Amino acid sequence: MRTVSAPSEVGRLAAPLAQAVDGAWQRMHWWIMAMVVLYAVSGTTIVRADEVAVVLRWGRLVGATAAAQEHGPGLLLSFPRPIDRVVRVPVKRVSEVSISTLSAADFGGAFPDPSAVLDPVVQGYALTGDRNIVHVDMVARYRVRDAAAWAFHGPAAEDVLRVEVSAAVVRSIGEMGVDRVLSDGREALAATAVRRAQAGLDAAHAGLELSSLEFTRLMPPYALASDFSAVQSAFIGAETKRKDAQAYGETTVPQARGQTDTVTQLARGETEADLARAKGEAAAFRALVREYRANPPVVRERLYRDAVERAVGRAGDTRWIPPPVGGTYRGLRITIGSDVLKPPISPTSNEHRD
């Protein structure tokens, strides 16, 4: 009796399948090879001008130093997934994120009931140093500073940013009074919050650099908005009047000082002129006294003639009186005042009394 071997029977049954696979391979091997090539080059990445790229191989950074880990703009070759994962980091791009964790509830533009009570579950808030409540809406602008650190956080780095900025703002507001927070202390508040938030980001290894912090809305609770507005208006009015008074003082004081200097200079000039004139007259009088002591009659005669000449020279009207009848005048008097004997003040000032 003849028996059939198992291998021969398996070969006979597998022959059609082998022929089908061989035929399929003959028709599809070029496509399979193309897919293998495409998979091999899928690790090629184009890094843009404002980006750097880092490579994660099996979840670990490739490169021993920060310079070796970061790849600049251009073509980057790496192994395809799941071996390598290329993360492009926009290091030169400034991004911004809105932070409303300390904001009041959105009432859709409608003014809420002033008697409404603040709900800390729905509305965020911060306490000032004098225990007043304020609501804050912020916009934080940042850029990626450490590409390797950002590669592990990715979009979650913004969540870290929100937490750190909110914590820094709450702490900074708690060190200031509400009047300063709502008036002239915003710049100092933003600067302090940026410094503290950056320290928190560095401690969390978020790889972000906080560029600026802008308060889009910083206000008291709605129930107290009118009262705070009145206080703010009064503060602004007082500051305006103070600045006006300061400007008036800066204008008026120099003018007064200039006028004072002018009057002082004129007084000094007149004093010097009067003193010089007095010294001259005193010198002339002393010289006349010396001459009078040397020759009294001559000096007396000269003084008399000079006085008469001055009196007659200053007379504006001269009248001739006819000789009296009988040779004697009765009731006639001629008076020459002491001012006539003084030197003339000006050529046009003449006096005559009779």
Put simply, whether the predicted model's pTM sits higher than 0.85 gets the answer no
Q: Position of tokens 């880990």?
A: 69
The reported pLDDT for the residue numbered 200 is 92
Q: Report whether the peptide linkage leading into residue 73 is cis, meaning its omega lies within 30 degrees of zero.
A: no
pLDDT per residue as tens digits for the range 238-292: 888 999 999 988 888 888 888 999 999 999 999 999 999 999 989 988 888 888 8
Percentage of the chain with pLDDT > 90? Answer: 18
The answer to whether residue 164 scores a pLDDT higher than 90 is: yes
Which domains occur in the chain, in start order? 18-89 (no CATH), 95-105+119-220 (3.30.479.30)
pLDDT at 36: 67
* pLDDT for residue 174: 92
Residue 70: predicted pLDDT: 72
Answer with the residue of higher pLDDT: 255 or 60.
Answer: 255
Tell me what the mean pLDDT of segment 227-247 comes to.
84
CA distance 101 to 124: 6
Residue 311's pLDDT band (boundaries 50, 70, 90)?
confident
> What is the Cα–Cα distance from 220 to 173, expressed in whole angstroms?
13
Q: What is the rounded distance in angstroms from the CA atom of residue 110 to the CA atom of residue 312?
A: 102
Phi, psi at 132, each rounded to 5°:
-110, 155
CA 116 vs CA 120, 152, 251, 302, 338: distances in Å: 12, 44, 51, 111, 98
Cβ atoms of 185 and 139 closer than 8 Å: no
Instruction: For the chain, give the percent of residues with pLDDT over 70.
Output: 68
What average pLDDT does the chain have? 76
Does pLDDT of 107 surpass 60?
no
Q: Highest mean pLDDT range out of 56-60, 191-195, 226-230, 291-295?
A: 191-195
Instruction: Over range 304-328, report the average pLDDT.
Output: 69
Phi and psi, residue 293, nearest 5°: -65, -30
Q: Is 47 helix (H, G, I), strand (E, B) or coil?
A: strand
186, 179, 176: which is closest to 235 by C-alpha? 179
Q: Is the pLDDT of residue 198 over 90?
A: yes
pLDDT greater than 50 at residue 348: no
